[in-house]
Amino acid sequence: MRTGDRSPVHRVAIIDDYQSVALTMADWSAVGPGGMVTSYQDHLADPDEIVSRLAAYDVVVAMRERTPFPRSLLERLPALKLLITTGMRNQSFDLAAAAELGIVVSGTNLVPTSTAELTWGLILAVARDTCGEDRRTRDGQWQQFVPMDLAGSTLGIVGLGKLGRQVANIAHAFHMEVLAWSPHLTQERAAEYHAKRVEFGELLGRSQIVTLHVPLNDSSRGLIGAAELRLLGAGGYLINTSRGPIVDQDALVHALHAGIIGGAGIDVFDVEPIPNDHPLLFTPRTVLSPHMGFVSQRSLRTAYADAVENILAWIAGQPIRVLNDPGA
């Protein structure tokens, strides 16, 4: 168990601040005159490098699951007393190990609409090949692609939770039929969002666009593989703003090169940040974005302001947003 004076907090590290905006999104001076807040924009994957950087910090503010904190890492950070994740779910943190080591783990609020907005941005981009037509227009090629119509087509939503429901609501504005599936979804629940609950294979076979909104766990890992992509077919598009490993990425790369599916809009990958030689970077009929579904100005302001509140509450010994369940 780690003990020690909570006040003042001597060092706070904000990690994976890709856009270098964390220090402008909240009033970090509130941490107090004894606190020193440092933001790091680069991403470290090597555990030794992470330990070298973070060894002296009392508090670490992590951005979602960009940097995992397993037991093997937590045990090497003896000064760490408070670990904060943006959002209230982080499956890359070993919460049991943190509790054993006396490290408090807390979370923050995020704006709940940002990922749904990006989902529809990707749907529109692949349906009309917006990125491809942009490149071709700049190259002097005029009207090379015939887009599909969203109106009258079918959207398949895998996971009709908080995000899936937002996506379903917008689909009706486009006059689309909505099919939905998840292991525990009932027809009655689906009907509340004007969707029809169907079996997984039927959803893939009937939908022109399939969008994924299930959490990553043992049952969802590899949920979309070669067989499922064949069911989606050459006229179908896959959208993934959930987690990369839900899709077998080797199978997806093959399906895109072979024309087995019509295209894909992908925001999440098996390795992040995506390496320069990742095969998805070289696939046709794809729109790729850098895991930015949850990223927005309002979302970052909310998350970092909550992080400051959590630090101040922890210093004062007051209740904070504690993570107890990685799937909460």
Q: Is the pLDDT of residue 40 over 60?
A: yes
The answer to whether residues 54 and 73 belong to one domain is yes
CA distance 225 to 251: 6
Mean pLDDT for all residues in the chain: 93
- Tell whether omega for the bond before 290 is within 30 degrees of 0, i.e. cis: no
**Is the pLDDT assigned to residue 62 strictly greater than 90?**
yes
132 and 40 both lie in a single domain: no
Residue 321, in any domain of the structure: no
Q: Are residues 67 and 128 in the same domain?
A: no
* Arithmetic mean of pLDDT, 167-190: 97
pLDDT above 80 for 5: no
Does one domain contain both 68 and 192?
Answer: no
42: tokens are: 């680069």
Find the CATH number of the domain harbouring 102. 3.40.50.720
Set 291, 298, 301, 321: catalytic member: 291
Res 7 pLDDT > 80: no
Contact criterion met (CB below 8 Å) for 85 and 64: yes
| pLDDT confidence band for 33 (50 / 70 / 90) | low
> What's the average model confidence in pLDDT over 297-316?
95
Mean pLDDT of 10-14: 91
Task: Tell me the CB-side half-sphere exposure of residue 167, using CA atoms within 13 A.
Answer: 36
Residues 174 and 227 in one domain: yes
Instruction: Specify whether 257 is catalytic.
Output: no
Q: Is 232 left (phi over 0), alpha (psi -120 to 50) or beta?
A: alpha
**Residue 274 banded pLDDT, cuts 50, 70, 90:** very high
Annotated catalytic residue within 64, 66, 197, 272:
272
- Quick check: helix, strand or coil at residue 222? coil
Helix (H) or strand (E) holding 50: helix 47-54
Percent of the chain with pLDDT over 90: 88
Condensed to tens digits (0 to 9), the pLDDT of residues 190-233 reads 999 999 999 999 999 999 999 999 999 999 999 999 999 999 99
Catalytic: 298?
Answer: no
* pTM score of the predicted model: 0.90
pLDDT for the residue numbered 321 = 86
**Residue 324 scores a pLDDT above 70:** no
**279 and 182 part of one domain:** yes
**Residues 164, 269: one domain?**
yes
In 87-178, which residue ranges form alpha helices assigned H by DSSP? 95-101, 114-127, 130-138, 162-173
Reported as a single tens digit per residue, the pLDDT across 91-135 is 899 999 999 999 999 999 999 899 999 999 999 999 999 999 999
Q: Is 291 a catalytic residue?
A: yes
Total number of domains constituting the chain: 2
Structural domain including 55 reads 11-110+296-315
143 and 250 share one domain: yes
On whether both 301 and 283 belong to a single domain, the answer is no
Q: Which of 274, 214, 199, 272 is nearest to 247 (CA)?
A: 214
**Is 327 domain-assigned?**
no
